């Protein structure tokens, strides 16, 4: 019986963790204006957002309007996905 309770608890815990991670994913739209070091500046309607990526080559999207999706670490948005119109 204890094994089943532990498995149930772990399943609920892991599903709650994945739901929280999904809530942290943000989407921003704007123009990638310039590159400063390893970071890029995304000009959005709300202001400038620092972005970078370990998964996407953002150089391809420089000076283009895009929608990016990722998670913040500090003040930098780490981009996992880019959509270009």
Q: Could you tell me if residue 17 is inside a domain? A: no
Residue 81: CB atoms within 10 A of its CB come to 13
Here the tokens at position 52 are: 């970078």
Full domain range(s) for residue 66: 26-83
Which three-class secondary structure state does DSSP give residue 33? strand
The total of structural domains in the chain comes to 1
Q: Could you tell me if residue 62 is inside a domain? A: yes
Task: Mention every residue, 6+ apart, whose C-beta is less than 8 A from residue 4.
Answer: none
**Integer Cα distance of 50 and 34 in angstroms:** 10
Q: Could you tell me if residue 18 is inside a domain? A: no
From first to last of its 85 residues, the chain has per-residue pLDDT tens of: 566 556 655 565 555 554 445 569 999 999 999 999 999 999 999 999 999 999 999 999 999 999 999 999 999 999 999 999 8
Q: Could you tell me if residue 53 is inside a domain? A: yes
Q: Could you tell me if residue 4 is inside a domain? A: no
Which three-class secondary structure state does DSSP give residue 32? strand
Q: Could you tell me if residue 64 is inside a domain? A: yes
State residue 83's pLDDT score.
96
Q: Could you tell me if residue 8 is inside a domain? A: no
CATH code where residue 71 lies: 2.40.50.140
State residue 85's pLDDT score.
81
State residue 45's pLDDT score.
95
What pTM was estimated for this model as a whole? 0.73
Q: Could you tell me if residue 6 is inside a domain? A: no
């Amino acid at each position: 019986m204890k094994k089943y309770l532990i498995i149930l608890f772990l399943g609920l815990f892991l599903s709650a963790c994945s739901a929280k991670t999904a809530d942290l994913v943000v989407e921003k739209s704007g123009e990638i204006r310039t590159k400063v070091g390893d970071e890029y500046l995304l000009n959005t309607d709300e202001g400038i957002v620092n972005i970078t990526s370990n998964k996407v080559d953002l150089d391809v999207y420089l000076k283009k309007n895009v929608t990016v999706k990722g998670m913040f670490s500090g003040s930098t948005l780490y981009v996992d996905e880019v959509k270009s119109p």
